[in-house]
Structure 1
Amino acid sequence: MSRYIINMVRADGSSGDNKPKADAGRILADRLAFQPVNIKQYKHSRIDQNWLIHSRIKHKLGPLHLTADDVVLVHYPIYTGAKFETYLLEYLQKHGVTTIALVHDLDSLRFNWSIFGDLQNEVNYLNGYDFVIAHNPKMTELLRQTGLTTKVVNLRIFDYLAKRNEVANSSQTKNQVTFAGNLNKAPFLINLQVHNPVKFELYGNIDDASQLNPSLHYHGSVSPTQLAKEMGRGFGLVWDGTSVNGVTGSVGNYLRYNNPYKLSAYLSADMPVIVWEKAAISDFVNRHQIGISVARIDDLTDVLSQLDDAKFQQMVANAQSIGAKVRNGDYLYAAVKQCLKPN
């Protein structure tokens, strides 16, 4: 039995994978002997959506001589167009391999569109796989309600491969909150003002830092190496949208079902987290006691003032335990192992 993972590379030869997909490839190769299959990705065009698609798929997969004993994992979506993804799945089905779809995003939930159209069409496509690895039980429930009939395994949270953070997270920094990433994609920051003793640390790109309230400490865009040195104190915040009074609109709806990769980044740095109480991931946070769920960011001052040192240190210890698993790739490993179990 052979195991393969489909990776897309751009026409110039560079990797088309982001960190979640790249990490998944490393985990599956190192721990479950999955072999990468790199297929060249082109911009959508009439020629690419017809004969060239078949040619590329056959050119890469034909020499593998796939059989019913083999397993192929496909990232979903791989952003090569609906025809490519459909033809790829049809090829795998024709050769009788066991197919696994690892869901990274459901674009019809976060953008109200996807390469397949709406959620119903996404589900119809995913039903062609033998297994679907969904983010969490909330996402699985939604997919089932929309008509998903194939076998589903819950990932629980994404892994995040990184070196262990050596920063000590003590109760002296329990009022410190970090938010890191592309700040232009976090418009709620423009409306955010915090009060002592809460300290808010921002890292990342933003077009106009002058819009930020002076109560926020903006450190600019820093290198991953420098950010790793700064991360690890206090809490990491997982939030989205335009409002500090909850998360609304399509981004709020998406948080009800997805696993934010930002949460895994904080946990990999052994940081407990602060999440929106209606986010799907809040169930995991509360169950493992690795942070706090709040309705509004404005609640932080009161919530943190009531958090005693012992409770914070327990959250840190729990976050360190989960963080070790995240850095080791344990969650994807367990999910794929479940797919590989004999029927």
Structure 2
Amino acid sequence: MKINITNLYGMANTSTAQAAQNVTTQLAKAQGVNELAIYRYNVASDTPEQLRVRIDGINASLQMGDIVIFQLPTWNGLEFERQYLSQLRAYQARVVFFIQDVPPLMFRQNYDDWMQPYIEFFNQADLLILPSENMATRLKAEGLTVDSIIYQHLWDHPTAYQPEMAAFRRELTFLGSQSRFPFTREWPYETRLRLFAADAQVDAEQNIEYAGFHPDEVLLPLLDGGFGLCWSIDTPDQPERQYSHLNASYKLSTYLAAGLPVVANADIAAAQLIKDHQLGFLASSLAEADQLVRNCSAQEYQLMAKKVKDYGYLLRNGYMFKRMLVEVGEYFMAN
């Protein structure tokens, strides 16, 4: 018996969803886990027989009774994922759903048609890995019946980069596109915003420094001071904000791995973790975030920067996944 993990390929190089799965798989392979590569493609182009043969190829290295950590979603659609699970069961595989995103909660236009089918699918797992207790509560309210759950809390961000202590600067850094995060187009606050994005349009009248898009190995050393802004939208009843209450933020882990204290939405899924470990500030609005940064003292910042540097060590060295992998092994040894 061995442990296997699915891994996503075929998306854009800038895809956070693919990057997260790829990083997780790298950590898993370092622990002796076998990779099952899934390519994103036009599933509708396959006949049922072609799909079955394709999935048999993905699973060629499986053995009877193996454990499979199924990273979800595959972004090939629920029908692909159902068929993939069905063929895993032919190997009598014990299946862990590592649920990283829930499409009908991300894209509310799909909620009515797809929420219950997803819940029915999730209920077929032997074990779940969920991003947060908040996500578990929400899915159980939708009808989730699986009680065996491991919690992720944060993404790992493995890197050889070792940050120095972050420099005290009253500025905010944000990673994200202007098309998805409109607040980065108009910034009426005193605190300067450093915007790392590929598609930004610079307005000289805004208090924004446009810093471009950079690959991870270049980006992390540039995150050398101030605060990392982990934000969705100010309006609490908007789907984007509601979803941040449920999922694990890859952006948050990037800041922490780089050694940056953070400013985050007060209702972000990791809010209690940020508070407990003194990793930064929680704010209910961007105006409050601006005020918190402007009022922060050098001494207060240095305390947070030390806490973040120490905590970031865990993320840089894959602690979150290693812990989850141990918990997966323990669960199946006991069951």
Using the size of structure 2 for normalisation, the TM-score is: 0.89
Separation in 1, partners of 2:308, 2:47 = 46
Deviates more, 1:270-279 or 1:307-316: 307-316
After superposition, the Cα gap between the structure-2 partners of 1:178 and 1:200, relative to the gap in structure 1 and judged at 3 Å, is same
The Cα shift of 1:295 comes to 0.9
Aligned partners of 1:99 and 1:129 also within 8 Å: yes
Separation in 1, partners of 2:198, 2:19 = 18
After superposition, the Cα gap between the structure-2 partners of 1:298 and 1:56, relative to the gap in structure 1 and judged at 3 Å, is same
Which residue in 2 is equivalent to 1:37?
A: 36
Deviates more, 1:180-189 or 1:327-336: 180-189
1:121 counterpart = 2:117: yes
2:263 alignment partner, one of 274, 277, 286: 274
Which residue in 2 is equivalent to 1:205?
A: 198
1:72 counterpart = 2:68: yes
After superposition, the Cα gap between the structure-2 partners of 1:262 and 1:66, relative to the gap in structure 1 and judged at 3 Å, is same
The Cα shift of 1:223 comes to 4.9
Which letter maps to 1:97? A
Cα distance per residue 1:145-202 (max 9 Å; x no partner):
222222111001111122334343133x2x121112333321111232221xx23211
SS of 1:209's equivalent in the other structure is coil
The Cα shift of 1:113 comes to 5.1
Separation in 1, partners of 2:16, 2:51 = 17
Cα distance per residue 1:221-279 (max 9 Å; x no partner):
345444223112111001123xxx44541101111111111001101101111101122
Separation in 2, partners of 1:16, 1:327 = 17
1:168 counterpart = 2:165: yes
User: CA RMSD for the aligned pairs?
Assistant: 2.4
Separation in 1, partners of 2:246, 2:84 = 27
After superposition, the Cα gap between the structure-2 partners of 1:17 and 1:55, relative to the gap in structure 1 and judged at 3 Å, is farther
Gaps of 5+ in 1: none
Which letter maps to 2:50? L
2:226 alignment partner, one of 234, 238, 248: 234
SS of 1:4's equivalent in the other structure is strand
Deviates more, 1:87-96 or 1:220-229: 220-229
The Cα shift of 1:60 comes to 3.3
Separation in 2, partners of 1:140, 1:220 = 36
Which letter maps to 1:254? Y
Using the size of structure 1 for normalisation, the TM-score is: 0.88
Which residue in 1 is equivalent to 2:21?
A: 21
After superposition, the Cα gap between the structure-2 partners of 1:235 and 1:65, relative to the gap in structure 1 and judged at 3 Å, is closer
1:152 alignment partner, one of 149, 153, 175: 149
Alignment map for 1:36-115 (pairs within 5 Å): 36-45=35-44, 47-48=45-46, 50-61=48-59, 63-64=60-61, 66-68=63-65, 70-112=66-108
1:5 counterpart = 2:5: yes
After superposition, the Cα gap between the structure-2 partners of 1:222 and 1:77, relative to the gap in structure 1 and judged at 3 Å, is closer
Gaps of 5+ in 2: none
Which letter maps to 2:42? K
Which letter maps to 1:124? E
Which letter maps to 2:119? V
Separation in 1, partners of 2:149, 2:205 = 44
